Structure 1
Amino acid sequence: MEQARGLKTKTTPIPGLVLLELPVHGDDRGWFKENWHRSKMMALGVPDFGPVQNNISFNSLRGTTRGIHAEPWDKFVSLASGRIFGAWVDLRDGPTFGTLFHAEMTPEDAVFVPRGVGNAFQTLEDGTAYTYLVNDHWSLDAQAEYTFLNVGDHDVAVPWPIPLDRAILSPQDRGHPALSDVTPMQARRTLVLGADGQLGRALRQEFQGDPTVDFAGRADFDITAEEPYRSTEWRKYSAIINAAAFTAVDAAETAEGRAAAWRINAGAVARLARTAVEHSLTLVHVSSDYVFDGTAPVHQEEEAPSPLGVYGQTKAAGDAAVAAVPRHYIVRSSWVVGAGRNFVRTMAALAAQGATPAVVDDQWGRLTFASDIAAGIRHLLTGNSPYGTYNISNEGEPQTWAAIAQDVYRLCGADPGKVSPISTAEYAKPGTAPRPRSSVLDLSKIKDTGFSPPPAHSRLEAYVLSETPS
């Protein structure tokens, strides 16, 4: 017997449910097949779902019927022997809830069943065995998260080849609820860490009203402590957004600050990366222009890190850890402005006081408003953008800090001439961390995904007017 057919996939009316045709090779001794081949199946659109457990179910008699069970993990099922009728019903919350797909399967077939899609099988031959891979470990706690549908539900109306009154079913499967009484399985959630900081507050605003997003400040989840990693039910999540960071650039140059920066920006981020790998999560991590020395006039995502100071070194180390996660987004920003203390708010306060500040005029960049970082993160997560590193700043001509300060004064109705431009060398004091000369980020890659950051000048105007009393 030669190869019966090539590896193929078949789409179904249930999103994410994929039927596969597997090549079977055989001779007089029997047959052989590649039951799971990661790279080949990924090339055909089957997700790399990271199986961690392999189970086998043997059914001695024709007519054995199991289901309909929607499990809180993904599942890849194929036959070792016999023939079955498979039925799948979408029990996830959404527009396809209640959609049915069914097909017969032999050892030449397999099916990928995404989390929340109910699956049921009826054996059509004696001595049928099927094997299935899952990407989470079964436990009593996990079983409590199952969603069930009655195999004889009249609304779904599965066309069982062997009538259920002649089939072999467990009492439990006979007692499952009708579709009208099923509580749909909710989508996996997103966990935002560092939710009380400048970016964290912007993320709260961006995802306001979204019931699938959880927010955790430091009091809820300290990323430097081990306990929250052990106690969190990671099965409930599909993504982590890490908005927690040590951002005191000058303080990072002190002995105490150096230790804190490495503990938070590098060590804790590596722990998050390990968690993401272990639980097949998408990890979103926010990086900084400080990973560069600023000698390049414009920084692209592929540029090798060359940090000048401790803060930049710790951020570069965190980036390296996150880059090892298969599903990751590193979002690199510059000159962030949001709620809380920041450069723009400081300049507005000085303008109100009639102060004459000296501001650096030989460092170039663009402001990045936290609300636009948050919007960019949401765009990456919901738009199926390719994983990797993305620069996100606001659009427009690069400016110096002094030019931005003058714009703030002007918007506040103060004299911009009160801002005195000075050089970095003149401004530097003992303990001041080195800064990149150019913090300008190339935005081509994020724009290619369909996200266009708004101009910095319009964001600055709106921000200053909202912060300045009328």
Structure 2
Amino acid sequence: MSELTVETTAIPGLLVLRLPLHGDARGWFKENWQREKMLALGLPDFGPVQNNISYNASRGATRGIHAEPWDKFVSLATGRIFGAWVDLREGESFGATFHLEMDPSLAVYVPRGVANSYQALEDHTAYTYLVNAHWRPGVAYPALHLGDETAAIPWPIPLEEAEVSEKDQNNPRLADVTPMAPKKTLIVGALGQLGRALQADFPGADLVDLVEGEGVTRLDLTDAAAVDAWPWHDYAVVLNAAAYTAVDAAETPEGRRDAWAANASAPATLSRLSREHGFTLVHYSSEYVFDGTQPDHVEDEPLTPLGVYAQSKAAGEIAVGLAPRHYLLRTSWVIGAGNNFVRTMKSLADKGVSPSVVADQVGRLTFADELSRATRHLVDAGADFGTYNLSNGGEPMSWAEIAQAVFERCGRSADDVTPVTTADYYADKPGIAPRPLQSVMSLDRIRATGFEPEDALTALDRYLAGQ
């Protein structure tokens, strides 16, 4: 009896597992799929949803070479095979091959786009495989001729003596195969300030929003029929940049409904879809989920939302946390394209206006391109799934101090901005949502992944230079 081991191969992501067989005079027993042990040894958590068995009555039965659009975990219940795999994915490894003889003590993890084939070396061979997507009729995928001269697979039984289906006999040669493209990225809320920033770091992503635009398709996540019709299985990553951010309007009956639809119900739908289709869900939340009584918010601080907007964002966080593959980026004071605090202050400075600005709300600006850069980093680095605080770096500042920094960069005096308390600023304004006074978030966890947030004032200088 050997130990469970996982070995890499010449094809990236194709793994060979050696499975301990526990045997006696009656036969043997094996753990064919053991998630905890196999993940610990480096097997991807691919989430199988279907188990299939291919029975081969006679020695010489040969099947393949097929590159299905899902991951597979193949092994044998009885018999022996010669297994062969060819990489048909886009990229430098296209055409790479690997082969070996298998008995029930071996298993192979086959990533999406790597073509799978085998030849039965004994009668009554039962070939079993797990897949992480349900079979669907009409699905097209690349296939390769079993006798392709470039792959040059050394079949133990010559193909002219083997049992091969007519379909497999007519598969194309490697030169005529269209490589399988990787799964795509989808940006939800593509027309917002964060959605626009994400497009720069995720070029080629599919784009959706509540309204159509150039290159943007309409998709309403509250429309069950539209959601059901969308091809979610085509995506590896879904970036949910959509949100309802009108903090004060959320306190109205109509605003309350819209805030909960966008900030809670839609993320819950995406979380469900992530569980069903296996894509990584990236969602963006707000420091408003805290009541602002702590001077430095950490990721696992208990949620204490104050107003309706804050409560809807907290509900969205809880829903997204149910997706096994998720990154939840909690951010603050986002500045990007469109209307925002920095642009407003610049406009007032340019017009000669001297505003009053609250001085007892303290936090850090988050520029949309920095939030996008952090997203790209987490996805590419394969960082642990979960919640990450993200803002620009540097010393915390109040809104008044940020306004003064903008005024100085516009040639005005910082003294032209009058600091006031939140209570005084909103004293004569009804229907105002409560604001957290302390919005500073600890950035230690995202720094531990190798990401260093850019200083907020450095980013502010660059932002104003582009206005």
Q: Above 0.5 in TM-score?
A: yes
| Partner secondary structure for residue 392 of structure 2 | coil
Q: Where in structure 2 are the equivalents of 1:55-454 lying within 5 Å?
A: 55-142=52-139, 144=140, 146-207=141-202, 210-211=203-204, 213-219=205-211, 220-428=218-426, 429-454=429-454
Match of 2:5 among 5, 8, 28: 8
The structural deviation recorded for 1:205 is 2.2
In structure 2, distance between residues paired with 1:264 and 1:107:
50
Instruction: Identify unmatched segments of 5+ residues in structure 2.
Output: 212-217
The one-letter amino acid of 1:459's match is A
CA distance in 2, matches of 1:439, 1:99: 52
Q: Is the 8 A contact 2:239 2:282 kept in 1?
A: yes
- What SS does structure 2 have at the residue aligned with 1:140? coil
User: After the TM superposition, which parts of structure 1 deviate over 4 Å for at least 4 consecutive aligned residues?
Assistant: none
Give distance in 2, aligned partners of 1:439 and 1:295.
9
- Report the residue type matching 1:163 in the other structure: P
Contact 1:285–1:322 (CA under 8 A) maintained in structure 2 = yes
Answer yes or no: is the 8 Å Cα contact 2:11–2:87 preserved in 1.
Answer: yes
Task: Compute the displacement of 1:98 (Å).
Answer: 0.7
Q: 1:110-159, CA deviations, whole angstroms, 9 ceiling, x for partnerless residues?
A: 111110000110111111111111111112232x1x11111111111111
What is the TM-score of this pair, normalised by structure 2?
0.96
Q: CA deviation at 1:455?
A: 0.8
For 2:78, the aligned partner's letter is: S
In 2, distance between residues paired with 1:224 and 1:197?
Answer: 18
Aligned to 2:31: 34
Deviation of 1:386 (Å): 0.7
Q: Distance in 2 between matches of 1:225 and 1:415?
A: 51
Letter in 2 for 1:326: P
The amino acid across from 2:65 in the alignment is I
Distance 2:415 2:465 in 1: 20
Percent of residue pairs bearing the same amino acid type: 58
| Structure-1-length-normalised TM-score | 0.96
Q: Is the 8 A contact 1:22 1:33 kept in 2?
A: yes
State the 1:102 CA deviation.
Answer: 0.6
Q: Look up the equivalent residue of 2:151 and give its one-letter code.
A: V
The question of whether the paired residues in 2 share the 8 Å contact of 1:412 and 1:465 is answered with: no
Question: Which moved further from structure 2: 169-178 or 398-407?
Answer: 169-178
Q: Secondary structure at the match of 1:463?
A: helix
Q: Secondary structure at the match of 1:92?
A: coil
Which secondary structure state, in structure 2, belongs to the residue aligned with residue 356 of structure 1? coil
Q: For the residues of structure 1 that align with 2:316 and 2:127, how far apart are their CA atoms?
A: 43
Unaligned runs of 5+ in 1: none
* Whole-Å separation in 2 of the counterparts to 1:218 and 1:372: 24
Task: Work out the CA distance in 1 between the residues paired with 2:200 and 2:110.
Answer: 34
How far did 1:67 drift? Answer: 0.8
* Partners of 1:331 and 1:52 in 2: CA distance: 29
Deviation at 1:445, TM superposition (A): 1.1
1:406-444, Cα deviation, whole Å (9 max, x unpaired) = 111111112322111000110112111111111111111
The CA RMSD measured in Å over matched residues stands at: 1.1
Q: Residues of 1 paired with 2:132 and 2:370: CA distance?
A: 34
